[in-house]
Amino acid sequence: MPPCAATKPVMDSHTAILNPPALQLHNLKKAIPEEAFVKSLPRSLFYLFFDYTMWLGSTYLMYNFVNSDKWDSLEFYQQALITLVFWNIAGFFMWCIFVVGHDCGHTTFSNNELLNDIIGHICHGSIMVPYYPWRLSHHRHHMYHNHVEKDYSHPWYTPKRFAKEDEFMARFFHNNPGFMTTFPFYGWAVYLFGLPDGSHFFPLGDHRMWRDTPTFERVKCLISTFTVFAFAAAIFYIFGDLKSCVFYYLVPAFVYGWWLVTVTYLQHHNPETVAYSDSDWKFVMAAFETVDRQFGYGIDTLHHHITDGHVVHHLFFTKIPHYNLPIATKAVKKYLEDNNLGNLYKYDKTWDFPLRVHQYMYQFGFKAKIWETEGDKKKK
Protein backbone atom coordinates (compact mmCIF):
# COMPACT_ATOMS: atom_id res chain seq x y z
CA MET A 1 0.00 0.00 0.00
CA PRO A 2 1.43 3.46 -0.81
CA PRO A 3 2.71 5.51 2.14
CA CYS A 4 0.07 8.19 1.69
CA ALA A 5 -2.78 5.88 2.61
CA ALA A 6 -4.20 5.62 6.11
CA THR A 7 -3.24 2.18 7.35
CA LYS A 8 -2.13 0.28 10.42
CA PRO A 9 1.67 0.45 10.84
CA VAL A 10 3.70 -2.55 11.88
CA MET A 11 3.85 -3.13 15.60
CA ASP A 12 7.64 -3.56 15.79
CA SER A 13 8.48 0.12 16.18
CA HIS A 14 5.73 0.66 18.75
CA THR A 15 6.07 -2.29 21.12
CA ALA A 16 7.53 0.08 23.71
CA ILE A 17 4.03 1.40 24.32
CA LEU A 18 3.67 -1.77 26.42
CA ASN A 19 6.63 -0.73 28.58
CA PRO A 20 5.91 2.83 29.75
CA PRO A 21 8.43 3.00 32.65
CA ALA A 22 11.36 2.78 30.24
CA LEU A 23 9.95 5.69 28.27
CA GLN A 24 9.10 8.02 31.10
CA LEU A 25 10.75 11.34 30.40
CA HIS A 26 12.61 11.50 33.72
CA ASN A 27 14.21 8.11 33.03
CA LEU A 28 15.34 9.26 29.59
CA LYS A 29 16.72 12.44 31.13
CA LYS A 30 18.73 10.50 33.72
CA ALA A 31 20.43 8.62 30.89
CA ILE A 32 21.84 11.85 29.46
CA PRO A 33 25.05 13.40 30.90
CA GLU A 34 24.34 16.51 32.96
CA GLU A 35 26.67 18.64 30.82
CA ALA A 36 24.28 18.22 27.89
CA PHE A 37 21.81 20.48 29.70
CA VAL A 38 24.31 23.31 30.29
CA LYS A 39 23.52 26.47 28.32
CA SER A 40 26.68 28.41 27.50
CA LEU A 41 26.22 32.02 26.43
CA PRO A 42 29.79 32.32 25.04
CA ARG A 43 29.29 29.24 22.85
CA SER A 44 25.91 30.47 21.64
CA LEU A 45 27.38 33.88 20.80
CA PHE A 46 30.23 32.22 18.90
CA TYR A 47 27.82 30.42 16.59
CA LEU A 48 25.75 33.59 16.21
CA PHE A 49 28.79 35.64 15.16
CA PHE A 50 30.12 32.88 12.92
CA ASP A 51 26.86 32.59 10.97
CA TYR A 52 26.48 36.35 10.57
CA THR A 53 30.11 36.65 9.51
CA MET A 54 29.60 34.03 6.82
CA TRP A 55 26.34 35.56 5.56
CA LEU A 56 27.30 39.23 5.70
CA GLY A 57 30.90 38.51 4.71
CA SER A 58 29.86 36.64 1.57
CA THR A 59 27.42 39.43 0.71
CA TYR A 60 30.08 42.11 1.22
CA LEU A 61 32.60 40.27 -0.93
CA MET A 62 30.05 39.67 -3.67
CA TYR A 63 28.90 43.28 -3.65
CA ASN A 64 32.44 44.57 -4.03
CA PHE A 65 33.27 42.02 -6.71
CA VAL A 66 30.16 42.83 -8.78
CA ASN A 67 31.04 46.52 -8.62
CA SER A 68 34.65 46.00 -9.70
CA ASP A 69 36.26 46.05 -13.13
CA LYS A 70 37.11 42.37 -12.73
CA TRP A 71 33.41 41.44 -12.81
CA ASP A 72 32.84 43.15 -16.16
CA SER A 73 35.75 41.23 -17.68
CA LEU A 74 34.14 37.84 -16.94
CA GLU A 75 32.13 35.80 -19.40
CA PHE A 76 28.40 35.52 -18.69
CA TYR A 77 28.63 31.85 -17.67
CA GLN A 78 31.38 32.73 -15.19
CA GLN A 79 29.25 35.48 -13.68
CA ALA A 80 26.30 33.09 -13.49
CA LEU A 81 28.35 30.38 -11.78
CA ILE A 82 29.80 32.79 -9.19
CA THR A 83 26.34 34.22 -8.57
CA LEU A 84 24.89 30.76 -8.02
CA VAL A 85 27.62 29.93 -5.51
CA PHE A 86 27.02 33.21 -3.67
CA TRP A 87 23.26 32.72 -3.49
CA ASN A 88 23.70 29.25 -2.01
CA ILE A 89 26.35 30.30 0.54
CA ALA A 90 24.39 33.36 1.68
CA GLY A 91 21.09 31.48 1.76
CA PHE A 92 22.54 28.57 3.69
CA PHE A 93 23.94 30.80 6.42
CA MET A 94 20.68 32.74 6.62
CA TRP A 95 19.16 29.35 7.41
CA CYS A 96 21.86 28.75 10.04
CA ILE A 97 20.94 32.10 11.62
CA PHE A 98 17.35 30.90 11.79
CA VAL A 99 18.56 27.88 13.76
CA VAL A 100 20.32 30.14 16.27
CA GLY A 101 17.11 32.14 16.62
CA HIS A 102 15.34 28.82 17.02
CA ASP A 103 17.49 28.20 20.11
CA CYS A 104 16.40 31.60 21.42
CA GLY A 105 12.76 30.61 21.02
CA HIS A 106 13.39 27.44 23.01
CA THR A 107 15.28 29.39 25.74
CA THR A 108 18.41 27.32 25.04
CA PHE A 109 20.52 30.22 23.74
CA SER A 110 21.13 31.41 27.30
CA ASN A 111 19.59 31.34 30.77
CA ASN A 112 18.38 34.94 30.38
CA GLU A 113 14.89 35.09 28.89
CA LEU A 114 15.12 38.78 27.92
CA LEU A 115 18.44 38.23 26.15
CA ASN A 116 16.98 35.23 24.34
CA ASP A 117 14.12 37.36 23.06
CA ILE A 118 16.38 40.24 22.00
CA ILE A 119 18.75 37.96 20.09
CA GLY A 120 15.77 36.05 18.71
CA HIS A 121 14.33 39.26 17.28
CA ILE A 122 17.68 40.16 15.71
CA CYS A 123 18.14 36.72 14.15
CA HIS A 124 14.60 36.32 12.94
CA GLY A 125 13.97 39.96 12.08
CA SER A 126 17.01 40.03 9.80
CA ILE A 127 15.58 37.11 7.79
CA MET A 128 11.97 38.40 7.78
CA VAL A 129 10.46 36.14 10.45
CA PRO A 130 8.23 37.62 13.19
CA TYR A 131 9.87 36.13 16.25
CA TYR A 132 7.10 36.05 18.88
CA PRO A 133 4.40 34.54 16.61
CA TRP A 134 6.85 31.95 15.30
CA ARG A 135 7.84 31.11 18.89
CA LEU A 136 4.15 30.70 19.76
CA SER A 137 3.29 28.36 16.89
CA HIS A 138 6.55 26.43 17.22
CA HIS A 139 6.01 25.87 20.94
CA ARG A 140 2.59 24.42 20.16
CA HIS A 141 4.20 22.14 17.60
CA HIS A 142 6.59 20.79 20.23
CA MET A 143 3.85 20.39 22.81
CA TYR A 144 1.75 18.25 20.45
CA HIS A 145 4.14 16.82 17.87
CA ASN A 146 2.47 14.17 15.69
CA HIS A 147 -0.95 14.77 17.19
CA VAL A 148 -3.29 14.54 14.23
CA GLU A 149 -5.33 17.59 15.30
CA LYS A 150 -3.29 19.64 17.78
CA ASP A 151 0.12 19.65 16.08
CA TYR A 152 1.27 22.92 14.51
CA SER A 153 3.64 23.55 11.58
CA HIS A 154 3.28 19.99 10.27
CA PRO A 155 -0.31 19.34 9.14
CA TRP A 156 -1.39 15.70 9.14
CA TYR A 157 -3.94 15.28 6.38
CA THR A 158 -6.18 12.26 6.82
CA PRO A 159 -8.90 11.42 4.24
CA LYS A 160 -11.43 12.86 6.67
CA ARG A 161 -9.55 16.16 6.92
CA PHE A 162 -9.09 16.36 3.15
CA ALA A 163 -12.85 16.11 2.73
CA LYS A 164 -13.51 19.23 4.81
CA GLU A 165 -14.85 22.19 2.88
CA ASP A 166 -12.23 24.62 4.20
CA GLU A 167 -9.29 22.40 3.11
CA PHE A 168 -9.59 23.30 -0.58
CA MET A 169 -6.02 24.63 -0.69
CA ALA A 170 -4.60 21.36 0.64
CA ARG A 171 -6.62 19.43 -1.95
CA PHE A 172 -5.40 21.77 -4.67
CA PHE A 173 -1.72 21.26 -3.82
CA HIS A 174 -2.00 17.49 -3.43
CA ASN A 175 -4.01 17.13 -6.63
CA ASN A 176 -1.40 19.07 -8.60
CA PRO A 177 1.95 17.21 -8.40
CA GLY A 178 3.85 20.15 -9.91
CA PHE A 179 2.86 22.44 -7.04
CA MET A 180 3.49 19.75 -4.44
CA THR A 181 6.89 18.78 -5.83
CA THR A 182 8.12 22.38 -5.88
CA PHE A 183 6.60 23.26 -2.49
CA PRO A 184 9.98 23.51 -0.67
CA PHE A 185 10.88 26.56 -2.77
CA TYR A 186 7.99 28.65 -1.48
CA GLY A 187 6.49 26.68 1.40
CA TRP A 188 8.08 28.81 4.12
CA ALA A 189 6.48 31.99 2.78
CA VAL A 190 3.14 30.18 2.51
CA TYR A 191 3.44 29.13 6.14
CA LEU A 192 4.38 32.56 7.50
CA PHE A 193 1.53 34.23 5.67
CA GLY A 194 -1.14 31.88 6.94
CA LEU A 195 -1.22 28.21 5.93
CA PRO A 196 -2.07 26.08 7.78
CA ASP A 197 -1.85 27.74 11.22
CA GLY A 198 -2.54 31.39 10.52
CA SER A 199 -0.72 34.62 9.78
CA HIS A 200 2.52 35.19 11.66
CA PHE A 201 2.50 38.88 10.74
CA PHE A 202 -0.96 39.97 11.89
CA PRO A 203 -3.07 38.46 14.70
CA LEU A 204 -6.20 37.83 12.65
CA GLY A 205 -8.96 36.54 14.90
CA ASP A 206 -10.35 33.98 12.47
CA HIS A 207 -6.98 32.25 12.02
CA ARG A 208 -6.30 29.09 13.99
CA MET A 209 -3.28 30.28 15.96
CA TRP A 210 -5.03 33.44 17.17
CA ARG A 211 -8.32 31.93 18.28
CA ASP A 212 -8.48 32.00 22.08
CA THR A 213 -4.95 33.46 22.19
CA PRO A 214 -4.43 36.09 24.94
CA THR A 215 -4.30 39.76 23.98
CA PHE A 216 -0.70 40.16 25.15
CA GLU A 217 0.38 37.56 22.56
CA ARG A 218 -1.36 39.58 19.85
CA VAL A 219 0.48 42.71 20.97
CA LYS A 220 3.78 40.82 20.92
CA CYS A 221 2.97 39.71 17.38
CA LEU A 222 2.75 43.34 16.27
CA ILE A 223 6.05 44.12 18.00
CA SER A 224 7.75 41.34 16.05
CA THR A 225 6.10 42.41 12.79
CA PHE A 226 7.33 45.96 13.34
CA THR A 227 10.84 44.56 13.88
CA VAL A 228 10.65 42.73 10.55
CA PHE A 229 9.46 45.88 8.76
CA ALA A 230 12.30 47.86 10.36
CA PHE A 231 14.85 45.35 9.11
CA ALA A 232 13.25 45.38 5.64
CA ALA A 233 13.48 49.18 5.50
CA ALA A 234 17.12 49.08 6.65
CA ILE A 235 18.01 46.47 4.02
CA PHE A 236 16.40 48.53 1.27
CA TYR A 237 18.21 51.63 2.52
CA ILE A 238 21.58 49.83 2.51
CA PHE A 239 21.26 48.49 -1.04
CA GLY A 240 19.46 51.54 -2.36
CA ASP A 241 17.28 49.96 -5.04
CA LEU A 242 14.93 47.05 -5.57
CA LYS A 243 17.15 45.24 -8.09
CA SER A 244 20.05 45.06 -5.63
CA CYS A 245 17.74 43.94 -2.82
CA VAL A 246 16.50 41.09 -4.98
CA PHE A 247 20.02 40.08 -6.06
CA TYR A 248 21.78 40.29 -2.70
CA TYR A 249 18.94 39.47 -0.30
CA LEU A 250 15.70 38.12 -1.74
CA VAL A 251 17.14 35.28 -3.82
CA PRO A 252 19.32 34.03 -0.91
CA ALA A 253 16.17 34.29 1.24
CA PHE A 254 14.43 31.83 -1.08
CA VAL A 255 17.43 29.52 -0.70
CA TYR A 256 17.17 29.71 3.09
CA GLY A 257 13.43 29.03 2.82
CA TRP A 258 14.18 25.92 0.78
CA TRP A 259 16.60 24.73 3.47
CA LEU A 260 14.07 25.37 6.21
CA VAL A 261 11.27 23.42 4.50
CA THR A 262 13.63 20.64 3.43
CA VAL A 263 15.10 20.10 6.89
CA THR A 264 11.86 20.38 8.85
CA TYR A 265 9.89 18.23 6.42
CA LEU A 266 12.46 15.44 6.40
CA GLN A 267 12.70 15.60 10.20
CA HIS A 268 9.03 14.73 10.48
CA HIS A 269 8.16 12.68 7.41
CA ASN A 270 9.15 9.34 6.02
CA PRO A 271 7.05 6.51 4.57
CA GLU A 272 6.58 4.91 8.02
CA THR A 273 5.72 8.05 10.04
CA VAL A 274 2.42 7.96 11.90
CA ALA A 275 0.31 10.53 13.68
CA TYR A 276 -1.80 9.81 16.76
CA SER A 277 -5.39 10.53 17.67
CA ASP A 278 -6.22 12.09 21.01
CA SER A 279 -6.92 8.74 22.65
CA ASP A 280 -3.53 7.25 21.66
CA TRP A 281 -1.19 10.25 21.71
CA LYS A 282 1.71 10.18 24.18
CA PHE A 283 4.41 12.85 24.21
CA VAL A 284 7.41 10.50 24.26
CA MET A 285 6.06 7.99 21.74
CA ALA A 286 5.18 10.81 19.36
CA ALA A 287 8.67 12.32 19.76
CA PHE A 288 10.14 9.07 18.48
CA GLU A 289 8.27 9.54 15.21
CA THR A 290 10.82 12.28 14.51
CA VAL A 291 13.65 11.20 12.21
CA ASP A 292 17.34 11.94 12.73
CA ARG A 293 18.97 12.35 9.33
CA GLN A 294 22.62 12.68 8.40
CA PHE A 295 22.95 15.08 5.48
CA GLY A 296 26.73 14.64 5.28
CA TYR A 297 29.36 16.89 3.64
CA GLY A 298 29.83 18.74 6.95
CA ILE A 299 26.32 20.20 6.72
CA ASP A 300 25.06 18.64 9.96
CA THR A 301 27.72 20.48 11.96
CA LEU A 302 27.41 23.76 10.06
CA HIS A 303 23.68 24.05 10.64
CA HIS A 304 23.96 23.14 14.30
CA HIS A 305 22.91 19.47 14.34
CA ILE A 306 19.32 20.38 13.61
CA THR A 307 19.22 17.34 11.31
CA ASP A 308 21.06 14.60 13.21
CA GLY A 309 19.97 15.55 16.74
CA HIS A 310 16.29 16.29 16.28
CA VAL A 311 14.82 13.33 18.14
CA VAL A 312 16.42 14.31 21.43
CA HIS A 313 15.57 17.94 20.70
CA HIS A 314 11.90 16.99 20.65
CA LEU A 315 12.23 15.12 23.92
CA PHE A 316 13.92 18.05 25.72
CA PHE A 317 13.20 21.08 23.55
CA THR A 318 13.68 23.70 26.28
CA LYS A 319 16.65 22.01 27.95
CA ILE A 320 19.45 21.16 25.50
CA PRO A 321 21.28 23.75 23.32
CA HIS A 322 22.15 22.70 19.79
CA TYR A 323 25.86 22.16 20.47
CA ASN A 324 25.02 19.50 23.08
CA LEU A 325 22.58 17.55 20.94
CA PRO A 326 25.23 15.04 19.71
CA ILE A 327 26.20 13.83 23.19
CA ALA A 328 22.55 13.71 24.28
CA THR A 329 21.61 11.75 21.15
CA LYS A 330 24.40 9.24 21.75
CA ALA A 331 23.24 8.72 25.33
CA VAL A 332 19.58 8.24 24.38
CA LYS A 333 20.49 5.74 21.66
CA LYS A 334 22.52 3.70 24.17
CA TYR A 335 19.71 3.87 26.73
CA LEU A 336 17.19 2.58 24.20
CA GLU A 337 19.49 -0.24 23.11
CA ASP A 338 20.17 -1.23 26.73
CA ASN A 339 16.39 -1.47 27.25
CA ASN A 340 15.78 -3.42 24.02
CA LEU A 341 14.06 -0.40 22.50
CA GLY A 342 16.65 0.50 19.88
CA ASN A 343 14.10 0.07 17.10
CA LEU A 344 12.24 3.13 18.35
CA TYR A 345 15.03 5.44 17.21
CA LYS A 346 14.66 6.51 13.58
CA TYR A 347 17.84 7.36 11.71
CA ASP A 348 18.61 7.71 8.04
CA LYS A 349 21.70 8.67 6.05
CA THR A 350 20.03 11.16 3.74
CA TRP A 351 22.90 12.36 1.60
CA ASP A 352 20.46 12.67 -1.28
CA PHE A 353 18.37 15.21 0.65
CA PRO A 354 18.16 17.72 -2.26
CA LEU A 355 16.26 15.08 -4.23
CA ARG A 356 14.62 13.18 -1.36
CA VAL A 357 12.55 16.10 -0.15
CA HIS A 358 10.99 16.64 -3.59
CA GLN A 359 10.51 12.89 -4.03
CA TYR A 360 8.62 12.60 -0.75
CA MET A 361 6.59 15.72 -1.51
CA TYR A 362 5.54 14.13 -4.79
CA GLN A 363 4.86 10.69 -3.30
CA PHE A 364 2.80 11.57 -0.24
CA GLY A 365 3.13 15.26 0.66
CA PHE A 366 1.40 15.83 3.99
CA LYS A 367 -0.94 12.86 3.84
CA ALA A 368 -0.98 11.00 7.14
CA LYS A 369 -1.04 7.46 8.40
CA ILE A 370 -2.81 7.12 11.75
CA TRP A 371 -1.61 4.85 14.54
CA GLU A 372 -4.07 2.07 15.36
CA THR A 373 -3.85 0.09 18.56
CA GLU A 374 -3.94 -3.68 18.28
CA GLY A 375 -7.47 -4.91 17.69
CA ASP A 376 -8.85 -1.44 16.98
CA LYS A 377 -10.23 -1.35 13.48
CA LYS A 378 -12.26 1.83 13.82
CA LYS A 379 -9.61 4.51 13.42
CA LYS A 380 -9.10 6.06 9.98
Domain-embedded: residue 350 = yes
Domain-embedded: residue 376 = no
Give pLDDT, residue 20. Answer: 66
Domain-embedded: residue 273 = yes
C-alpha 362/C-alpha 360 separation (Å) is 5
Give pLDDT, residue 148. Answer: 95
Domain-embedded: residue 123 = yes
C-alpha 275/C-alpha 288 separation (Å) is 11
Give pLDDT, residue 100. Answer: 98
Angle, helices 353-363 vs 183-192, to 10°: value is 70
Give pLDDT, residue 373. Answer: 62
Domain-embedded: residue 5 = no
Q: Provide the whole-model pTM.
A: 0.93
Angle, helices 113-126 vs 76-105, to 10°: value is 160
In tens digits, what is the pLDDT along the chain, a chain of 380 residues? 334 433 333 334 444 454 568 999 999 999 999 999 999 999 999 999 999 999 999 999 999 999 999 999 999 999 999 999 999 999 999 999 999 999 999 999 999 999 999 999 999 999 999 999 999 999 999 999 999 999 999 899 998 898 888 888 889 989 999 999 999 999 999 999 999 999 999 999 999 999 999 999 999 999 999 999 999 999 999 999 999 999 999 999 999 999 999 999 999 999 999 999 999 999 999 999 999 999 999 999 999 999 999 999 999 999 999 999 999 999 999 999 999 999 999 999 999 999 999 999 999 999 999 997 644 543 43
Domain-embedded: residue 380 = no
Domain-embedded: residue 300 = yes
Domain-embedded: residue 95 = yes
Residue-wise burial string across 155-178, b where 16 or more C-beta atoms lie within 10 A, e elsewhere: bbbbeebbeeeebeebeebbeeee
Q: Bridge-partner residues for 276, per DSSP?
A: 147
Q: How many domains does the chain have?
A: 1
- Parent domain of 113: 12-370
